[in-house]
């Protein structure tokens, strides 16, 4: 069997082919020569890259360019990492370790105690909250300090809530009564308790500004309701009759419907063309009635189901419709871009994926966008605001597929096999491969979490 992976720049589907995943079929519509992006040519058929290269996140010409979290790339395939402390591999060697560890000669070593990020045992870039680096270790030397200045254990850059920095870069209790946070300057307040706000001197109760339509973060008025203008923090009534929005007592920005500003007053619009209900001057339409759209100073009648216009003509139709002779006709449901005849879809709308027969099918409720299958969420498209409708119920599984049917990564002391987590055969083994060969050993769980590990002998601890 011959595998040929296409260059990612080839993205277009070809409606002349029988498969939506094919971009070229020169001799036979049922035999593909070139596949669309993220598909691999296998014996004349286009296969989805994740199904040809399991656990691959981003396809590439040679098979795979990036693996899913918990796997590393080697020889175009995604492998289970031999070291659970490693976050990123290159050429089978670790180049980036998990927080609290650093990479050296392809292996992970522990940073000094309480260090979050380091490059060696003696160089800590970032200590955990509440600790500063004194050149040898991370220490708690300043009261109420959340984050220390880089490489210092005597200078604080951010204090815990209720405290702020003084001129010596140390933390003092907020000087303003009722202040919740003053982390950068203890004499000023960033956030007050409850509904109070800082007025520059004290935390005071919020008092609504009459006729104010919107407020800034500091609860000052940003703009006023129609018929009023902002002056020194207050909303004052416009003096111009028939004016909806003004910027000063006698200057109108927007007159009421049917009137326009002539630099002196709001005056009624003269006779206006069909479809126009508001003007900005003589023969200048500014507002169209329902069923019309504005282009320049003229109103044009809408094309039913049109989404984007070019002057009076429709340029792009709504989802599920295609353009034919300046009209939007019913096409493939949920389709964003159709074939010329409108019978096939080549690009689906958000929340839907293209099926092999050129139709659109809905993504899983956990995906904002998906590809090839409803459960194949595209990178960065998982909706974190939605409740997980497929909770992980599989033993030792730390991350499941969107449909909850397959596990994607497992706990320590287990390995992934056929979408399930299987325990390692040796009780002292804390990392094993798919064929149950041990890759890292530890005498106790505490030793493992502290980085005190050793390599197995003949795949056994």
User: What confidence tens digit (pLDDT) does each residue in 105-115 have?
Assistant: 888 888 999 88
Minimum mean pLDDT range among 54-68, 231-245, 268-282:
54-68
Task: Copy the structure tokens of residue 160.
Answer: 């815990």
Asked if residue 68 is part of any domain, the answer here is: yes
Which pLDDT does position 444 carry in this prediction? 66
Highest mean pLDDT among 98-102, 225-229, 331-335: 331-335
Which pLDDT does position 24 carry in this prediction? 86
Which pLDDT does position 390 carry in this prediction? 31
CA-angle at 23, arms to 18 and 28, nearest 5°: 45
Q: What's the pLDDT band for 408 if we cut at 50, 70, 90?
A: low
Mean pLDDT over residues 18-40, rounded? Answer: 87
| pLDDT digit string, tens, across residues 131-164 | 888 888 888 888 888 888 877 788 888 888 889 9
Which pLDDT does position 160 carry in this prediction? 86
Beta bridge mates, 139: 132
Which pLDDT does position 454 carry in this prediction? 60
CB-based contacts of 135, cutoff 8 Å, min separation 6: 151
Overall domain count for the chain: 1
Minimum mean pLDDT range among 54-58, 73-77, 339-343, 393-397:
393-397
Minimum mean pLDDT range among 93-107, 124-138, 191-205, 391-405:
391-405
Asked if residue 71 is part of any domain, the answer here is: yes
Which pLDDT does position 82 carry in this prediction? 66
Which pLDDT does position 360 carry in this prediction? 96
The Cα 353–Cα 367 span in angstroms is 11
Which pLDDT does position 63 carry in this prediction? 66
Asked if residue 5 is part of any domain, the answer here is: yes
Phi, psi angles (nearest 5°) of residue 202: -150, 165
Highest mean pLDDT among 64-78, 178-192, 322-336, 371-385: 322-336
Which pLDDT does position 399 carry in this prediction? 58
Task: Copy the structure tokens of residue 93.
Answer: 């060697």
Mean pLDDT over residues 278-285, rounded? Answer: 82
pLDDT(370) > 70: yes
Asked if residue 280 is part of any domain, the answer here is: no
Which pLDDT does position 134 carry in this prediction? 84
Q: What's the pLDDT band for 380 if we cut at 50, 70, 90?
A: very low
Which pLDDT does position 398 carry in this prediction? 60
pLDDT(103) > 60: yes
Q: What's the pLDDT band for 387 if we cut at 50, 70, 90?
A: very low
Give residue 61's domain range: 1-80
Asked if residue 368 is part of any domain, the answer here is: no
Mean pLDDT over residues 81-102, rounded? Answer: 77
Percent of the chain beyond pLDDT 90?
A: 19
pLDDT(2) > 50: no
Which pLDDT does position 211 carry in this prediction? 93
Highest mean pLDDT among 3-17, 133-147, 378-392: 133-147
Which pLDDT does position 402 carry in this prediction? 43
Asked if residue 44 is part of any domain, the answer here is: yes
- 344, 14 Cβ separation under 8 angstroms: no
Asked if residue 205 is part of any domain, the answer here is: no
Q: What's the pLDDT band for 302 if we cut at 50, 70, 90?
A: very high
pLDDT(305) > 70: yes
Mean pLDDT over residues 193-216, rounded? Answer: 84
Mean pLDDT over residues 211-236, rounded? Answer: 87
pLDDT(381) > 60: no
Percent of the chain beyond pLDDT 70?
A: 82
Which pLDDT does position 48 carry in this prediction? 87
pLDDT(352) > 90: yes
Q: What's the pLDDT band for 386 if we cut at 50, 70, 90?
A: very low
The Cα 317–Cα 336 span in angstroms is 8
Asked if residue 130 is part of any domain, the answer here is: no
Residue with structure tokens 């419709």? 321
Average pLDDT, the chain: 80
């Amino acid at each position: 069997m011959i595998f040929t992976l296409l260059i990612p720049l080839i993205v277009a589907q070809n409606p002349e082919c029988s498969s939506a995943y094919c971009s070229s079929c020169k001799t036979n519509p049922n035999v593909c020569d070139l596949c669309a992006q993220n598909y691999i040519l296998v014996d004349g058929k286009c296969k989805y890259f994740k199904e040809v290269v399991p656990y691959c996140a981003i396809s590439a010409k040679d098979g795979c360019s990036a693996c899913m979290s918990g796997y590393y790339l080697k020889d175009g395939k995604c492998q289970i990492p031999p070291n659970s402390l490693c976050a990123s591999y290159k050429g089978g060697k670790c180049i980036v370790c998990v927080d609290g560890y650093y990479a050296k000669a392809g292996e992970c070593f522990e940073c000094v105690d309480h260090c979050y990020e380091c490059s060696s045992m003696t160089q800590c870039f970032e200590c955990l909250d509440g600790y500063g680096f004194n050149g040898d270790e991370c220490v708690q030397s300043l009261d109420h300090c959340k984050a220390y200045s880089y490489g210092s254990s005597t200078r604080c850059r951010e204090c815990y809530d209720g405290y702020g920095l003084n001129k010596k870069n140390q933390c003092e209790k907020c000087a303003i009564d009722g202040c919740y946070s003053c982390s950068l300057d203890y004499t000023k307040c960033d956030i007050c308790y409850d509904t109070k706000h800082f007025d520059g001197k004290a935390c005071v109760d919020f008092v609504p500004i009459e006729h104010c339509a919107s407020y800034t973060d500091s609860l000052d008025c940003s703009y006023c309701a129609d018929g009023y203008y902002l002056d020194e923090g207050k909303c004052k009534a416009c003096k111009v009759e028939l004016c909806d929005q003004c910027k000063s007592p006698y200057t109108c920005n927007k007159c009421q419907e049917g009137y326009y500003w002539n630099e002196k007053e709001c005056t009624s619009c003269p006779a206006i063309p069909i479809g126009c209900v508001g003007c900005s001057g003589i023969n200048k339409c500014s507002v169209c009635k329902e069923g019309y759209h504005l282009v320049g100073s003229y109103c044009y009648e809408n094309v039913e189901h049109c989404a984007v216009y070019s002057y009076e003509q429709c340029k792009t139709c709504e989802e599920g419709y295609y353009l034919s002779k300046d009209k939007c006709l019913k096409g493939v449901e949920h389709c964003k871009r159709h074939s010329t005849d409108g019978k096939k879809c080549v690009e689906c709308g958000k929340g839907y994926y293209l099926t092999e027969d050129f139709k659109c099918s809905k993504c899983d409720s956990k995906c904002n966008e998906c590809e090839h299958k409803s459960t194949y969420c595209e990178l960065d498209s998982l909706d974190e605001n939605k409740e997980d409708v497929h909770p992980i119920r599989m033993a030792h599984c730390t991350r499941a597929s969107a449909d909850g049917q397959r596990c994607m990564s497992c706990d320590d002391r287990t390995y992934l096999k056929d979408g399930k987590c299987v325990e390692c055969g040796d009780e002292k083994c804390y990392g094993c491969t798919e064929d149950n060969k041990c890759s890292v050993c530890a005498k106790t769980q505490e030793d493992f979490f502290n980085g005190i590990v050793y390599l197995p002998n003949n795949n056994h601890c």
